[in-house]
Chains A and B, each alone.
Chain A
């Protein structure tokens, strides 16, 4: 098969700027989705360990409802299902400001918030009960104990699975192309359709995703080392005390 490689389609001509535009859009929706997921995840994960059962039930309902349905279905729900239920003024406002991107951000954020919540819960529950008892016995309220003692340790514990979830969110942002968001995967398909240079487009897309995810994991690795509490956990190298 005689295939002529033409890498210039990635940076010149009409298709030149598409890859960059797609990358920017991917970063935008992933960033906003991640912010939403972290807020929902921490809140819901903490609530799942609450003593008051209505709060626990609420958080559990959120988690089970949102993580047990495929993300693709959620994309359609947030784009086709939610806007018609909103008041007309909000609908018009959204239509002018990229309703597709907002639907994508909410779908990603809420879905990954549910998954993140479980990671958070695992972190909180792996802290010995004695820590909470000690905190309460010094006079802190339950909320204060969570805020000052439990959550700081839990957040340090969950850095590896949190990295996993972040990288997953970045990759799942590609599902947004089904509701018309012009993100990176969409743009690689566009380049492929308009220039017939399938290999160049797909290789470029693959390398960019790989690079993004590597940067994220390296960044989280740096964070992990930076905020580690010396002597509290088993580190990579077991050092003499």
Chain B
């Protein structure tokens, strides 16, 4: 089964634009909050990060992402849609590796739920990273 929440390589601008259309059929969603996480070119011990290679426990990631979506919807009653996409494989510095989109009727729940989704991803999504240096 294809994993709905993981994508190989960076989350490209084209994919982001496609993901952003997913809630368009819901005219009751007056608020859309988006978080995009990108790979930073940090300097570690004098070496510059050029990319991060992400790996995941795919089967468990799928299950956990579904649970995160359920939990966020239960915690924020005005939320209508939660979309999570995380990269696996190599993502270069400056490219996106995480995309979160939350729609709700009004702005309060979409903004708070988007942040909550991010924190839950960090806590629960079985994903690991390995820095690749210049």
Do A and B originate from a single complex?
no
Interface residues of A (CB under 8 A from B): none
Interface residues of B (CB under 8 A from A): none
